[in-house]
Structures are given as structure tokens and as C-alpha cells.
Structure 1
Amino acid sequence: MPTESGMEDKPYDVNFCFPVRDLENGRVKLTPLVPSIHADLLFQGCADHPELFQYLPFGPYGSASDFTEGLIEGRIHPSPSMVLYAIIDKTRCPDTTLTSLPHAPSRVNFAGMIGYLNTCPINLKTEIGFIMVFPPFQRTHVATNAVGLLLQYALDPPSSSDNVRSHGLGLRRVQWQTNELNTQSIRTAERMGFKFEGILRWDRVLPSGKGKLGNGVQLRADDPKPGMVGRHTVILSICWDDWENGGREEALRIMARQY
């Protein structure tokens, strides 16, 4: 795979427990995230918007290499339960003067990242997360189409003969977890058919000093991690029977909306 310097790299091993391929429709393309191609774009996209990390249990990062080492190589790549995708907005033409790579995204059409985590082939389930959509692409078709493409791949049956359907993984459950305060994330999930299941209280200890929004509850005086706020986590899910009983059609309708 070409790198930014024009040299050839070995193909990047995403180490996911299921087959990984490009997922796309007429508006959005999800392609497996490769650090040599996408890390700089991710860092550039969020450098001026540290608020993108306020609800996330990771970041922000000081450089593209910190992002690669801390998140991709430090957390994602070692685990076969996780994979990241780069989000490309196909409705915007890339600026070819900003990249030396043929067919590579640029800041014009590179919209952020999304991924699967907590994936379990034994129990036929996964979770959609690591969602980061840059401000110029928010409140557009990007987030709903990115989520919809991951839902289709996860929940569509692998044996489908319907030409309209892409061959999926046939999983039974897709989960969504988010900070209780992140109302936009909750609305996106519910709009795409996820059902509220409950709140996990004090579910996460968030990094200190990085603008993280916790649950607003003051810690006790002898807490082992003073200064690191706690997070209440909302958990939602959409399951195969939701998907088969109208969920898929509703998701496609939302994905096709004009903004």
C-alpha cells in the first residue's frame, strides 16, 4: 500500500475477527483505516476542535503519531474485536493538490472515523463506536449513512440472495454506548433504530485535565483517582429481529433523506 512518501508498504493488517472490506453507497464510503494514509487527516481534522473528544474515553492527542501509537496500535490493532474505518463523503470531490496518493482522501472529503468494538463471533454481537465526525460534516447525511452501512454489514444475513442487500455477517445484536450527557449521540442511535436499554452508573473513569465531561457528581475525598471524573453510560441496541421487522427499511429511509 502506498505511503505518503510514495514508497510501498506491506498491506496493513487490521486484525479484525471478521472479514473487512470497503462499505459504501452513493453518498458515503467506509474504508479500513490505515495509519499511513489517514492518521494525519484525522489529527488535522480534530486539532482545531478539541471538543470532539469531550464525550470520548480517549484523546485528545498531541500529534498524528500520538494518535497512531495511543489508539490505533495501542488499543485497536492488538484486539481482534475492534476495527476502525475512515469515513469518506462521496458527495464532495477530493482536492488532489493536497495529496500525493492516487484515489486518497483529502481534507475536502475526509469526514472522520467510525468503527466496531466489543465484537464477539461466539455470541454474534458487536458494537458501533469510535465515532468522530468533523464539524463541517455534522448535521448532514454523513453520520446516518456511516452508521447505516455498519448496521447493514453487521445485521444483514450472509446468505441473502436479494440483489438489494449486500452480504452481511448475520449478527444478532449491535450495541451502542455513549456518555449520558451526549444527547446528540443518543438521538442519532435512536433515529437509526436503536432501543434504549438502560444506564450504567459510574461505568467509566475518564482521563483528567482533558476537557472530559463526566456525570457532574463530586467524588468522595478518598477516591483512588482524584481529579478523574466518572461517566454514566447510556446503552442502546438494535437486534436482528428489530432489523428484520422494519428496522432495515427505516434505516434506509433515514439514510436517503435530503438535508
Structure 2
Amino acid sequence: MATSQVFPFSVGDASNDRVKLVPLNPDKHCDTFYRLSSPHPEIYSYMPLLPPASAAEFKSWFHNDSTTHILSFANPETFSFAIIDKTRPASPEDPEGELAGTMSFIRTSAMHLNTEIGFIVILPPYQRTHVATNAVGLSLQLALEAPEKGGLGLRSVHWSANTLNLASARLAERMGFERIGVIPWHMRLVKGKTNGKVGNGRVLPAGGDPEDLWRDTLQLCLGWDQWEDGVREKVTKLMER
């Protein structure tokens, strides 16, 4: 069983006065995350993942020994964070605040110095607050700042969203990402209609399971040059609002 995250970069906490990103600890964070998220299966409507059936199942996503499971600690392309809201009181999960959600670096390449921000889940009590802006901002600072400034020195950060997930696209663009294009028929959502998924809204291909749905994926990107040419300052101002 994997107990620590395998990742090609050294990653620690990232923090400001309102939000903190800490390495996710399944045994510390997953019970609370499941308790707060399980009444809201719609959180997963735009994701290929199904809602976990229990806290134990949610923990198993991270403790999975597969090197290809998107959130497994054994997957060297992925690093997962717990999002802590420091404006709330100390909690059993963290002495500086409350667990507000999770996010990950996924599909990370040490060769090409890039990553994707994925599995962003802001728990319902913390939605429409400062949490999402600050969590994404901290992850961008961590990814794109130079190592001597506490960052990873990556050259680009990517973002993928269901084309119908307008809130995700708006958040990415507000944080400086630019639209690159759309991948049509990108993912088959097996039994998507049964499982409450949101597809691409188009006529299904002939010959498939009528309960399946398909996802078109919007791709966005933020490069190091854009970060240096004003996006860093834009993100800082958004986080300070």
C-alpha cells in the first residue's frame, strides 16, 4: 500500500493568510471530505470519476498501488493537496483552519516541465468564497515560480474542463489561463445517464449503449511567459481582494 506521494519534484505547503495547501493525507483528510461531500453527488457531475461510496473507498483512490490511477500516490505524475481555509477555526484536520476541499497536480512531466491542475473540489460550505481563488492562486505560484522563490519552476500549467462546466472555465480564465481549443468526443462516460453525469449535449454515436454519455473537453493553458508578463500580478490582486 502506498503511504506517501511519489512525485518528481519536492513539494511542501503553500500558504497565505487565508488559505493553505498541504500534502493530502488520506487518513487525516478523507473522512471529513467524504462526510461533507457525500450529500452532494453533483460535485462529480462533470468529472469522469464516480462519487465514492464510502470514506474507505475515497481513501483507496490515493492508496491504490496502480501507477496509472489518476489520484494514486504511486502515480508519479500526480500530487494531491488538501485545501485548508485559515479564516475558520482550528479543526481536527489542521491546527490553522478547516478542510475546504482538494486539488491535485496531474499529468505532470518532469521532462517537459509542465503539469495540469485537476480534481478541484471546493466543498459546498466554502463555495462562492475566497477559497477557490486563493487555492488556485497558490497552486500557480507553486508551479510557476522559480525554485529559489519556493516554486517548482515549471514552464506551463494546463487546465481541462467539460465544455458545459462554465464555472470551471470562468475560474480558469479569471486566473489567467487562455483557451487553447476543444477536444471533441474526448471521454466516454460509461452509464453516464444513470450516474448523473453531464455529457456534451450532442446526439450519441450509433451502436453504443444508450445510457452512455460523451464529454467534450475544453483545454486551457498558462505559460511561464504569460505569468512573468502580468499574470502573476493579476493573480496576486485577485487573492488579496
Checking the alignment, whether the CA contact within 8 Å between 2:27 and 2:59 is kept in structure 1 is no
Aligned equivalent of 1:211, options 156, 177, 196:
196
SS in 1 for 2:229: helix
SS in 2 for 1:38: helix
Query: Counterpart of 1:255?
Result: 239
After TM superposition, the structure 1 stretch with the greater mean CA deviation from structure 2, 77-86 or 64-73, is 64-73
- Distance in 2, matches of 1:138 and 1:215, equals 25
Task: Identify if the C-alpha distance between structure 1 residues 40 and 185 changes in structure 2 by more than 3 Å, giving closer, same or farther.
Answer: same
Checking the alignment, whether the CA contact within 8 Å between 1:37 and 1:104 is kept in structure 2 is no
Checking the alignment, whether the CA contact within 8 Å between 1:158 and 1:168 is kept in structure 2 is yes
Query: Counterpart of 2:226?
Result: 242
Query: Counterpart of 2:5?
Result: 14
Aligned equivalent of 2:216, options 222, 232, 256:
232
RMSD after superposition: 1.9
1:85 and 2:81 correspond:
yes
Counterpart code for 2:140: L
CA deviations 1:7-59 (Å, max 9, x no partner) are: xxxx9411112112111110001111111101111111111111101011112
Any stretches of 5+ residues in structure 2 without a counterpart? none
Aligned equivalent of 2:49, options 40, 55, 58:
58
Query: Counterpart of 2:156?
Result: 173
- Distance in 2, matches of 1:49 and 1:186, equals 21
Percent of aligned positions that are identical: 43
Query: Counterpart of 1:182?
Result: 165
- Distance in 2, matches of 1:237 and 1:215, equals 21
Any stretches of 5+ residues in structure 1 without a counterpart? 1-10, 160-165
Aligned equivalent of 1:202, options 185, 189, 203:
185
Task: Identify if the C-alpha distance between structure 1 residues 227 and 72 changes in structure 2 by more than 3 Å, giving closer, same or farther.
Answer: farther
After TM superposition, the structure 1 stretch with the greater mean CA deviation from structure 2, 209-218 or 81-90, is 209-218
Counterpart code for 1:88: I
After TM superposition, the structure 1 stretch with the greater mean CA deviation from structure 2, 201-210 or 31-40, is 201-210
CA deviations 1:121-168 (Å, max 9, x no partner) are: 100100001100011111111001101111001101123xxxxxx421
- Distance in 2, matches of 1:77 and 1:87, equals 17
Task: Identify if the C-alpha distance between structure 1 residues 104 and 228 changes in structure 2 by more than 3 Å, giving closer, same or farther.
Answer: farther
- Distance in 2, matches of 1:102 and 1:244, equals 33
Q: Which has the larger radius of gyration?
A: 1
SS in 1 for 2:172: helix
SS in 2 for 1:85: strand
Counterpart code for 2:33: L
Counterpart code for 2:178: K
Task: Identify if the C-alpha distance between structure 1 residues 12 and 21 changes in structure 2 by more than 3 Å, giving closer, same or farther.
Answer: farther
- TM normalised by structure 1 equals 0.85
- TM normalised by structure 2 equals 0.91
Aligned runs of 1:11-50 on 2, under 5 Å?
Answer: 12-50=3-41
Query: Counterpart of 1:103?
Result: 95
